[in-house]
Structure 1
């Protein structure tokens, strides 16, 4: 068994590593948010994004606290852009319940999906892929679902659409959310496998 000094040293190393990962992935998120057509990709009235990928990767390799912290940075960049680079739907993202909360949840959900699948299958790549897909869908469904709950009528008027808001938002989730989820799954699996295997050497 480890003595108290060894345990404290190990815990300190873990904390330093986690802070380093948070700093690096947060920096990646901030840089992505500042590069046009990379972090946020305009597709008509909505924006596709790969900003959730660093959040998911952080959660998978270092746990839910790291994932939530990087997700917070993602959410804050979204909130910031809503005020500094407004579009017709930015009023939705000026509300932190929409711009921040779902992004914090991405890392938490992705971590527990990863650990659950890994316990069942013992396969890092498969676990990473599913965690990436579910984490991405957490973002899409969380954001669009909250827009529907809080701003459905105003959102539909802003984008010039008539008809059922639920059907339109569901269509957006499918058209944007599914490709984003597949990309997130592939990237998460590839990076997670590489980093987890490296950490075991």
Structure 2
């Protein structure tokens, strides 16, 4: 049993390279600021897109690993570039767990859909991954830190709850659209190259 489990998580050289390359792209997007696209009145992030692409192309383990590195970067970034809400992102439950789930859920969404759907299944997987990023992080912020969030911004707890939900709605839709617009052509191009 142990031998079977061990062999099921072995990664090929290509998969390890994909994890490194897409993780580096995600981190570069965060460090450079290119991962945040201004769509007034919000800044939509695309830092989770490499996680989705890696998951669709190479499977849930690769997607989860890229998500793990993205999440660890979020924790480090919260310490090195503090903001008023950095306390949220130093908690790995908020900043790491949803990012790992992006890779796993995106892959399974993509793999269970019919191949007859073609590019639509890539788009749906991108939407699922993006929404997990937005609502996973903000949902955990809401559940764990709403009182502290209210204290930081000197607002009532009900106002803090509304503010977090508003951010989720304002960011969720543009981020999902951007994820589709980037993921679909990249995955299609890579699939053509692989043929």
* Range of TM-score over shorter length: 0.7 to 0.9
Shift of 1:40: 4.4
Quick one: distance in 2 between partners of 1:116 and 1:156?
41
Is 1:30 equivalent to 2:27 in the alignment?
yes
Structure 1 residues 146-185: aligned runs within 5 Å: 146-162=140-156, 163-185=158-180
Q: How far did residue 173 of structure 1 move?
A: 0.8
TM-score by length of 1: 0.84
Q: 1:188 aligns with which of 176, 183, 186?
A: 183
What is the CA deviation profile of residues 104-162 of structure 1, one whole-angstrom value per residue up to 9, with x for unaligned ones? Answer: 11000100111122x2x523311111111110000111000101111111112223443
SS at 2:12 equivalent:
helix
TM-score, length-scaled by structure 2: 0.87
Aligned length: 186
The structure with the largest alpha-carbon Rg is 1
Relative distance call for 1:188 and 1:20 in structure 2 (3 A) is: same
Q: Structure 1: 5+ residue runs without aligned partners? A: 1-11
Matched, 1:76 2:72: yes
4+ aligned runs moved over 6 Å, structure 1:
none
CA distance in 2, matches of 1:42, 1:158: 24
Provide the residue aligned with 1:125 in structure 2. Answer: 119
Distance 1:75 1:86 in 2: 16
1:53 maps to 49
* Cα distance, 1:167 vs structure 2: 2.8
Note if contact 2:71-2:99 (Cα within 8 Å) is conserved in structure 1.
Answer: yes
Residue among 80, 104, 111 paired with 2:107: 111
RMSD value over aligned CA atoms? 2.4
CA-CA distance at 1:166 after TM superposition:
3.2
> Is contact 2:44–2:174 with CA below 8 Å preserved after alignment?
no
Deviations 1:90-110 (A, max 9, x none): 000011111111101100010
SS for the counterpart of 2:164 is helix
Cα distance, 1:125–1:159 mapped onto 2, change above 3 Å = farther
Flag the 1:187–1:24 CA change in 2: closer, same or farther, 3 A: same
* d(CA) in 2 for partners of 1:166, 1:113: 30
Which runs of no fewer than 5 residues in structure 2 stay unpaired? 1-9
Residue 48 of structure 1: CA displacement?
A: 3.6
